[in-house]
Amino acid sequence: MTKYSIAVDIGASNGRLIFGYLDGGLLKLNEIHRFENQIVKKGDSYCWEADKLFQEIKNGLKKCNELGITPDSIGIDTWAVDFVLLDENNKLLTEAVSYRDPRTDGMMEKVFEKIKKECLYLETGIQFQKFNTIYQLYSIKQQSPKIFDRAKSFLMIPDYFNYQLTGKKANEYTNATSTQLVNAFTKKWDHDLLNMLGINKEMFHEIKTPKTILGTLKEELVSEIGFDLQVILPATHDTGSAVIAIPEENETIYISSGTWSLIGVENYFPICVTKALDYNFTNEGGIDYQYRFLKNIMGLWMIQEVKRSYNDEYSFVELVELAREAKDFKAVVNVNDDRFLKPENMVEEIMNYCVETGQPIPTTPGEIAKCVYDSLTVSYQNAVKEIEEIFEKRFQKINVIGGGCQNEMLNQLIADVTNKEVFAGPVEATAIGNIVAQLVALNEIQDIKEARSIVKKSFEVKKYVPTAPITS
């Protein structure tokens, strides 16, 4: 009998419930429910609306019932690093504060006073970003010690939703590694690091891997929704799920392109060498204990904010066309500069950067968009060079996955600048990776190797070649 799975995929701007199943050896997807997600100001903090998001998950499940669909399982993935803390009565002690909140300003340096930067990297293999969970937790310890002392349970965002569904607490592996508190070699919470920072290790839960069947719905939810189903852990880190869907897995660099751009390769062991530290690469956990050796790049967040700064006057498609028309404009910004993390006005921030660095100043929407796309491409090019230097080999292909792979102009720019073949697709990589992990747990698919073969047959992938000939 065919098994049906639902991927709940929540990103920085929206969430979806996508229904997936195998039909004739191909993976079929149908969107059941879509909803908005945004950061809101609560008190002095920028937060996610966790309760609203969970209600949307329930709304999507109720739609299944209305459509006469009875899924066998559900899996939830979201962005990384963010979390909630619960007290001894399992009540929220904290809001789901966003990684874009400034509470972590200066916290990285305070942590380095307790733990040497090099030691932290050698233990965890995780790149240094000021919003990593470790610095968020340390900011609570410094700024709200009473709340910190009352915390009995640490749950990342998808862990919290899973707890609300099942009543069971667990920390999923791929997302847990993004905290910079998991030992890269033991794959467990690093109690030595926690002790050095004075963080209570008892609030962390057992780390469980993707494909774990966590449990079934709580009785009250079965009554509310109208059916029961199994809650299965996918790679709850959305990039972890997206990478599972890479069809060109051999000798390829991948770019998971969305609000963030994650560029890297899959590897069977962590690379915690000095050069990887210097280049600020990360070793995040992946499916089947593989490692995602990658670098975070600001990504299409910048163009999303450009669109917002122009009061949504232009669509993303129109911004691409305007960028094409501004083909002679040349200026590049450092997309990973913290000033672009959450500026008041992205357009003004880009213009100011160009003024300060003595470059031509973009003044039209097309020039601003062209600057963003060129800047992203340059950052990809630099990351590719660093990956090839660390691995001492040349990769032949780049596979762009996720929503950003629909940007044909950007795909061609990547091919031209890196002088590599670029394969774009699948678009719904995160939902696909989420669903196939569930189907493996349900014994519908044998393993991830077979899953990737199915993905390759099931979804369109476009190829882009450099306009200049490739030379060896």
Rounded distance, CA 419 to CA 198, Å?
Answer: 48
Each as own residue / partner, the long-range contacts of residues 158-163 (CB below 8 Å, 24 or more positions apart, any chain) are 158/76, 158/77, 158/78, 158/236, 159/83, 159/205, 159/236, 160/50, 160/83, 160/84, 160/96, 161/8, 161/53, 161/54, 161/57, 161/76, 161/78, 162/76, 162/214, 162/231, 162/233, 162/236
Q: Are 329 and 362 in contact (CB under 8 A)?
A: yes
Nearest to 297 by CA among 254, 327, 267, 268: 254
Rounded distance, CA 255 to CA 251, Å?
Answer: 13
Q: Are 282 and 322 in contact (CB under 8 A)?
A: no
Rounded distance, CA 111 to CA 265, Å?
Answer: 29
CA 430 to chain CA mean position, Å: 9
Nearest to 127 by CA among 346, 340, 316, 278: 278
Q: Are 327 and 285 in contact (CB under 8 A)?
A: no
Determine which one of 238, 288, 312, 416 is catalytic.
Answer: 238
Active site residue 238: yes
- Active-site amino acid positions: 238
